[in-house]
Amino acid sequence: MPRPLEQAVVVITGASSGIGRAAALRIARRGGALALCARAEGPLAEIAAECEAAGASVMRRALDVGEEEAVEAFAAAVTERFGRLDVWVNSAATMAYGTFDDIPSEVFRGVVETNLMGQVHGARAALRRFRRQGSGVLINMSSVWGRVPSPQVAPYVTSKHAVRAFSECLQGELASEPDIHVAAVVPQAVDTPIFEHAANYTGRQVRPIPPVLDPEEVAAGIEACAEDPKREVSYGRSGRALEVLHAAAPPLYRRLAHPSFVHGTWGRLPADAAPGNVLGSTGPHQVDGGWRGRRRAALRRAFFAAAGGAVSGILRKNS
């Protein structure tokens, strides 16, 4: 059985913002040991201090999860400091919006390097140590876009589909090792800064389409999964509804969901083409993106635009 978090050593990647930051704070309150990494040293030091104040023993290291040697060296430093490694949470992620032709190759590659290869590197470092000690929990972050497709976010959708498949492959390989667990967390849109951080080659500002989840809900799920692992955990009824529609009626899904996404995602204001935080860390570094608060009006506009897009998809089919 996994160790209680009060006695566990937990690694969290992408800990400086969003779900990773929320999970770090939740687990810190349990009083165990935390090892945090992210690309930006300043925000990482800030969250490490908050976790120490909450009662955890904390170490941190600024690194890019796309660099395998850096991830392996971090894992080695964690086990040297704390003596073991019990839970590894692969939370680092980036996103890019735009058509496939408009997203530069280096940005597409950057999203895949972080979202997929970053989790591969984390898994390799963690599982090597789990096997030595005979136990451990690996938690990979996928997405509802790891189950259904969507236009104009191809790098993200591709990477998150791959994370789900990768997790299932590992689960099969570890079937004979009952005390080593691999879990995939699959949420719908979450109210984090990832939308503000995203690379954007659409010419317009971007926004999530409601409903968006509270990051604390997903962080609580990560906390629970660390002690009671599940093979896959989904969050969000609308995300599950999209999965059912896509599985049951793919043509209907494409008619409704694709135009709904395109219409709902683009905001009113223009935006210059930019790589966001894909090629280098950018702010803000916080848990939430403000979409359920100060940006609620923009979220309402996104909902109605998405609904209009779905209607247009039906009308085009029937015209």
Please, what are the domains in the chain?
5-318 (3.40.50.720)
Positive or negative CA dihedral for 113, 239, 191, 218?
negative
Cβ atoms within 10 Å of 117's Cβ, excluding its own: 18
DSSP sequence for 32-87: -EEEEEES-HHHHHHHHHHHHHHT-EEEEEE--TT-HHHHHHHHHHHHHHHS---E
- Give the SS3 label for residue 105: helix
- Give the SS3 label for residue 198: coil
Residue from 303, 319, 214 nearest 264 by CA: 303
Q: Is the peptide bond before 211 cis (omega within 30 degrees of 0)?
A: yes
pLDDT tens figures, 96-142 = 999 999 999 999 999 999 999 999 999 999 999 999 999 999 999 99
Please report the pLDDT score of residue 317 as a whole number: 61
| Across 173-193, average pLDDT | 97
First to last CA, the chain: 58
Is residue 318's pLDDT more than 70? no
Query: How many whole angstroms separate alpha carbon 45 and alpha carbon 16?
Result: 9
Burial class (CB in 10 A: 0-12, 13-18, 19+), 300: exposed
pLDDT tens figures, 204-233 = 999 999 999 999 999 999 999 999 999 999
Predicted TM-score of the model (pTM) = 0.97
Query: How many whole angstroms separate alpha carbon 157 and alpha carbon 147?
Result: 9
| Across 48-66, average pLDDT | 98
Query: How many whole angstroms separate alpha carbon 215 and alpha carbon 20?
Result: 9
Residue from 161, 153, 284, 163 nearest 208 by CA: 153
| Residues tagged active-site | 156
Residue from 99, 300, 287, 148 nearest 209 by CA: 300
Q: Is the peptide bond before 43 cis (omega within 30 degrees of 0)?
A: no
Question: CA-CA-CA-CA torsion for 281, 166, 150, 307, nearest 10 degrees?
Answer: -90
